[in-house]
A and B are shown apart, each in its own frame.
Chain A
Amino acid sequence: MTRSVWKGPFVDAYVLKKAEAARESGRNDVIKIWSRRSTILPQFVGLTFGVYNGQKHIPVSVTEDMIGQKFGEYSPTRTYYGHAADKKAKRK
């Protein structure tokens, strides 16, 4: 069952507080968070969060198309390396 709209998106309070502090300081530090359940809000765009996956913090640079999803979706808890073959990486 989906979350009721009247409640608004769920975000752990400490994530909001840390994001606000980072934005005010203007520094591009990684904001370490453990809250994988928090929703990505529009005010997080441009910030880089280190989302804990149970082992380490995975850097996640928030972009507009990530709004509404949860932080945990970008920080997998299992590692799969696979083969490099002809796979490409784009520097944004």
Chain B
Amino acid sequence: MTELVCVGAVAGAYGVRGEVRLKSFCAEPEAIADYAPLQTEDGAHSYSVVLTGQMKNGFTAHLGGVATKEQADALKGLRLYAPRDRLPALEDDEFYHADLIGLEVVDTGGTVLGRVKAVMNHGADDLLEVYGPGMKATVLIPFTRTVVPTVDLTLGRIVADPPEGLF
């Protein structure tokens, strides 16, 4: 499991009073403030977040310790991370994309099929995008109980029983 999860980024300064334009990557964009204080990838800096308004593609916000436009300008492009354990607990059979990405995918016989590259949803079921050595292109497998009977986050492994015609 990843320790830090990227939940947003600073798009630039907003106004002259030290506010920033904040892009949220969360499923519910306003939830980015719930995960505060947010930190940089190396953990060197930590910022409290107060959303002050909404704008196209994001929010305006006050970050803790950022008081001037120059300080806000300097943060442009900065990615903000939240510790994984700050994300709310999930129901049965629910998983965070961040937990699934990178897991090893094996078939029921134990043969390694590849690793999870991304999790997608195009309106039907959730899909796991799997890539592996020797594969020309990625393969999408439906994230259902029949196709993916076991998800073991502690072992970092997914057991899949993909239907004929996928691999």
Contacts and interface: CB of A to CB of B under 8 A. Distances in A.
Interface of A: 27-30, 32, 48, 50, 55-56, 58-63, 66, 73-76, 81-92
B55 interface: no
Contact of A89 (B7, B87, B121): B121
A84 B101 contact: yes
16 contacts: A59-B127, A59-B163, A59-B166, A63-B124, A76-B122, A82-B25, A84-B101, A85-B6, A85-B27, A87-B27, A88-B27, A88-B94, A90-B143, A91-B95, A91-B145, A91-B148
B125 interface: yes
B5 A56 contact: no
Contacts of A91: 93-95, 126, 143-145, 148, 151
B78 interface: no
Interface in B74-101: 87-88, 90, 93-98, 100-101
Contacts of A58: 122, 127, 140
A60 B94 CA distance: 20
Contacts, number: 117
A89 B27 contact: no
Tell me the interface secondary structure of chain A in the complex: loop
A32 B101 CA distance: 26
Given A30-B166, A75-B122, A81-B118, A86 B87 contact: yes
A58 B140 CA distance: 7
Interface of B: 5-8, 24-27, 31, 35, 87-88, 90, 93-98, 100-101, 118-119, 121-127, 137, 140-146, 148, 151, 163-166
B124 A85 contact: no
Nearest to B27: A87
Contacts of B166: 30, 50, 59
A27 B26 contact: no
A24 B93 CA distance: 31
Nearest to B5: A85
A57 to B, nearest CB: 8
Contact of B141 (A29, A59, A60, A82): A59
A85 B4 CA distance: 10
Contacts of A59: 125, 127, 140-142, 163, 166
Given A27-B164, A85-B98, A74 B123 contact: yes
